[in-house]
């Protein structure tokens, strides 16, 4: 059994660094195209299919089976494509404040209008670039200064095209158990939007009293949830 960890927008696999030591099973943190081990990819051309293929490649390279697939934030639209690619390798899906818009819509259609305005202002030449100041307000409300600085140091550019691409949620219809970790102090993917995602999927729900980056601000709390589901 293994955890496979998929990061959200504007981060790479290193956002899971604080969490991994607390997990009771092997953990693979995937870098999606355009960052970390896949930094050579052209962000202007990255698609959701590319993101799902990156996860599949890493899982198959390690021949992982009995996988608990963990997706944070924007990974909510990558995961269903992964489920269609390697369904026989996945035993459970855990969505951590994951963005799940209506099928065949765009991620931009599903985020808070205030946040959407900030996002659209941060797009230049097809690249989404979060400023430290803007990200601090959305991501670091439950962190001390040192933890916030460490989080913001890991910000990376992302593909603006992913925000506008039509999502395909068909993979979520597979009979693979799903748990949604509802972050009660999230100022990025806010309460109303988390509830919309939950209503669409009807997963099991676990509440966690943290902000958006729970894997950094409260890694032991999140690990307890993941380890319990892992059994």
Q: What pLDDT score was predicted for residue 174?
A: 96
Q: What pLDDT score was predicted for residue 123?
A: 74
* Candidate from 76-85, 111-120, 145-154 with smallest mean pLDDT: 111-120
Per-residue pLDDT reduced to its tens digit, 53-94: 999 999 999 999 999 999 999 999 999 999 999 999 999 999
Q: What global pTM score does this model have?
A: 0.93
**What is the average per-residue pLDDT within 205-226?**
98
Closest CA to 12 of 28, 46, 36, 41: 36
Q: Give the 3-state secondary structure of residue 193.
A: helix
Q: Mind listing the domains of the chain with CATH numbers?
A: 2-230 (3.40.50.1820)
Close Cβ partners of 194 (under 8 Å, ≥ 6 residues apart): 97, 180, 182, 183, 186
Residues 107-116: b if buried by 16+ CB within 10 A, e if exposed: bbebbbeebe
């Amino acid at each position: 059994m293994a955890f496979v960890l998929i990061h959200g927008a504007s981060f790479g696999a290193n956002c899971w660094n604080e969490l991994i030591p607390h997990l009771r099973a092997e953990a693979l943190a995937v870098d999606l195209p355009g960052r970390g081990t896949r930094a050579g990819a052209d962000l202007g051309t990255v698609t959701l299919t590319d993101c799902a293929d990156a996860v599949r490649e890493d899982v198959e390279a390690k021949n992982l089976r009995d996988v608990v697939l963990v997706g944070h934030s924007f990974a909510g639209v990558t995961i269903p494509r992964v489920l269609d690619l390697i369904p026989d390798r996945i035993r459970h899906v855990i969505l951590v404040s994951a963005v799940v818009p209506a099928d065949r819509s765009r991620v931009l259609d599903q985020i808070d209008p205030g946040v959407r305005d900030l996002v659209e202002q941060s797009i230049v030449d097809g690249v989404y670039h979060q400023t430290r100041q803007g990200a601090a307000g959305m991501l670091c409300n439950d962190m001390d200064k040192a933890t916030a600085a460490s989080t913001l140091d890991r910000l990376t550019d992302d593909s603006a095209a992913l925000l506008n691409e039509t999502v395909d949620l068909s993979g979520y219809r597979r009979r693979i158990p799903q748990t949604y970790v509802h972050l009660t102090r999230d100022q990025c993917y806010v309460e109303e939007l988390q509830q919309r995602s939950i209503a669409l999927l009807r997963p099991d729900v676990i509440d966690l009293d943290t902000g958006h980056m729970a894997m950094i601000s409260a890694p032991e709390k999140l690990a307890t949830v993941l380890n319990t589901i892992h059994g």
